Structure 1
């Protein structure tokens, strides 16, 4: 992608809000080099989790498309990273051009979230979202099958907040988001501390098999969103748990709260999770941001660099007001996403539900 066509995140206006300020302050913390040993005594990395068994039904014709994609893409992860990034950009631009509904959803979301921006700038942002996701495909596959390619490419700030909570024998709920480098972010976290992850099982059984087994190399335990018993077990064991509450799951277990100034169905599970631990050692809720600095904005010959940011613990959470709590979570995540909005998955229908039911904005 040519430089003039790229969206420049430096043009993003900073928000005068507490979440944004806290991120900027934590980013000034000294970076801890890659290779730091596991820092928790209460949650040492366990043996690799059991993988899901292969099922012969995966050879049926309805799964051949997924097999074809893996056969095409897996050999490419052994190319140099710069070549992978180049391919990822080209794939992202191609998908932007051919995936009409996803492109339209992205443009609608960006118009709602950034109404002050010119339409041309939002189109550049949308294209860059797909470029970043194209790169993210290779990052995820490398995280699963070639993790050592990312040595000496990551720094972290705010790790002390997590360490202090673990020293007090408290579990930690890391509130993440669906960034385009999703699984690579988990791999980087695992270089500094062991963690479990909550996930929603995929509808496609073969895709779920690939994703789950790939993540066994990263996470100590994967907790289905339907498996409350495993979640309670991890919390009581004092583990670090990665949970992403940034998508629209409706209002059965959520409330309407502003997200980028737009009313959005916001799940309230983090409030329930905060109440599950020991009263003397309640879970500490912090937010996690993962950021990619690509070769496009690095000096020639430099490898891509990644940065993790952990924000301070949310104090006085949960309160007695679930809407206020949901608004607070959305504000924190929004402040982090604004660091570079194009690295968040705007192609999901984040605003598909309204207070009186489904909205028609995506039609």
Structure 2
């Protein structure tokens, strides 16, 4: 893409600026009202996006085989409603001032972070792909600005806005393809790292480890970072609260025996920690992602 087309001010991105303006307007609407609007929008998306619905249904059927077909359908419907609610909350996530964030976000087990920071110990927050994960990283930067990794999007308007939002309270973002040595140095100096490792990395870079009993392509990076930085890994899940009441960030104790001796062992421990978080709020995980797209050699495809 040429530099002129990549500019966020190119005419082809007029629609993106309009969408951004709408999100800014939505940030002014009370969250309980957006919650209920999101219910209706989610029901429309449930009907209008059958392919995404099928992906979520397939994922949930694999991960929760004990549930009935009716229970799976109810989970899928509520998951898509929560996806719509989080879309409407995007303006709040990107522009809410510190006062509003502190009012709407509750951090559970914050004393675990206090203990590590008082010891000058850098740490890694294992942040699974829950629908509200972006809000979690931004909110935690209020208490102590840390570091994180992001992937540049193809739309420079949204890319610019997301990066500004994520760094507005002092956090530092590193693009996934850039040199990450400064990030590792920051962790060694005592910074926290908000890390999102639970999406399909493709066959070339994956190791396979169980996730809800399904052999799953898993990024093998978390254990290496933990070992290089001598940094403990803590589960960190961000959940929407009912009725538009806000959000809850739940911090877990550091993973035991992590990193292990092998990449496969690290991946299994990581996936088990994510499983535990998902079981707390199964209707808020990013189920529309084809998490099981990459299969082990000889295994049948999961998706049509």
Say whether the fold is shared (TM-score over 0.5): yes
Return 5+ residue gaps in structure 1 as ranges.
1-53, 296-302
Q: Which residue number in structure 2 is paired with residue 40 of structure 1?
A: none
Q: Which residue number in structure 2 is paired with residue 186 of structure 1?
A: 137
Q: Secondary structure at the match of 2:255?
A: coil
Q: Does 1:246 align with 2:202?
A: no
Query: Shift of residue 219 of structure 1?
Result: 5.1
Query: Shift of residue 349 of structure 1?
Result: 0.6
Query: Shift of residue 64 of structure 1?
Result: 3.6
For residues 156-202 of structure 1, the C-alpha deviation after alignment (integer angstroms, 9 at most, x for no partner) is 23222222222332211000011111222223323433222211222
Q: Does 1:160 align with 2:111?
A: yes
**Residues 119-158 of structure 1 correspond to what in structure 2 (within 5 A)?**
119-147=69-97, 148-158=99-109
Classify 1:181/1:219 alpha carbon distance in 2 versus 1 (closer, same or farther; 3 Å). Answer: farther
Classify 1:199/1:57 alpha carbon distance in 2 versus 1 (closer, same or farther; 3 Å). Answer: closer
CA contact (8 A) 1:111 1:122 kept: yes
- Structure 2 residue corresponding to 1:285, chosen from 194, 210, 233: 233
Classify 1:220/1:127 alpha carbon distance in 2 versus 1 (closer, same or farther; 3 Å). Answer: same
CA contact (8 A) 2:141 2:171 kept: no
Q: Which residue number in structure 2 is paired with residue 22 of structure 1?
A: none
For residues 17-65 of structure 1, the C-alpha deviation after alignment (integer angstroms, 9 at most, x for no partner) is xxxxxxxxxxxxxxxxxxxxxxxxxxxxxxxxxxxxx987334454344
Query: Shift of residue 113 of structure 1?
Result: 1.0
Report the structure, 1 or 2, having the larger helix content: 2
Q: Does 1:274 align with 2:226?
A: yes
Q: What is the RMSD computed on CA atoms of the aligned residues? A: 2.3
Q: Which residue number in structure 1 is paired with residue 54 of structure 2?
A: 104
**Residues 1-363 of structure 1 correspond to what in structure 2 (within 5 A)?**
57-147=7-97, 148-218=99-169, 220-227=171-178, 228-277=180-229, 282-295=230-243, 304-356=245-297, 360-363=301-304
How does the TM-score come out when normalised to structure 2?
0.90
Q: Distance in 2 between matches of 1:90 and 1:233?
A: 46
CA contact (8 A) 1:257 1:265 kept: yes
CA contact (8 A) 1:173 1:242 kept: yes
Classify 1:108/1:65 alpha carbon distance in 2 versus 1 (closer, same or farther; 3 Å). Answer: farther
Q: Matched residue pairs, number?
A: 300
